[in-house]
Amino acid sequence: MAKVTWEIEGLKDLEEQVGKLAQMYKADAVVRATLAKAVRNALEPVAEQSRAAAPYDELFNTSGIHLRDTIRVDARIPTAKDQQSSFVHPNDIVIGVVSAKKSAVSLSHEFGNARTTAKFFLRNPFEQHLQSMTDTLKSELAEIIPRYAKNLQKRKLIP
């Protein structure tokens, strides 16, 4: 699978604001309340399109749980286990993931198998939404960071 990376330029002010907040208050709390929240919101359209593209088999599914029901969005500070992945850079502050329950069905649909070709229900939506994710991330950060800083000031947690 190809690794997709991109850089967002023009966010120096927001980066400085997050850095200042992290110095004045708990860094992990600042990251969760600002960056992780913005990343989660930016990935939600990808998850929705992935749910729409995921296979749905009413006839042969006896459990009642369909692949589309297992798709979720997660944005978090990378854990030690995350750091072992080749997709996570040591300098990453937050990672965002759109995932489906790991099973033979999900792997077979996303990557194909000996009998069927791959039907990308996760990768295609991600690639189609790269620009909108970037735009959403910028706008979310521009809104979330000042609101969070104001909230911390109101609660007298920062000067």
pLDDT in tens, 47-87: 999 888 887 766 555 566 677 888 899 999 999 999 999 88
pLDDT surpasses 70 at 19: yes
pLDDT-derived band at 1, boundaries 50, 70, 90: very low
pLDDT at position 107? 76
Q: Which position has the token pair 């600002």?
A: 34
Question: What span, in angstroms and rounded, lies between the C-alpha atoms of 124 and 119?
Answer: 9
DSSP annotation of 114: S
Burial 68-82 (b: 16+ CB within 10 A, else e): eebbebebbebeeee
DSSP annotation of 10: S
Percentage of the chain lying above the pLDDT 70 cut: 87
Helical spans, DSSP H, in the chain: 12-24, 27-31, 37-53, 80-83, 104-111, 123-128, 130-154
pLDDT in tens, 48-59: 998 888 877 665
Question: What span, in angstroms and rounded, lies between the C-alpha atoms of 82 and 137?
Answer: 22
**Ramachandran area for residue 81 (φ above 0: left; ψ -120 to 50: alpha; else beta):** alpha
pLDDT, mean over the chain:
83
pLDDT at position 58? 61
CB 71 within 8 A of CB 53: no
pLDDT surpasses 80 at 122: yes
Report domain extents, the chain: 26-152
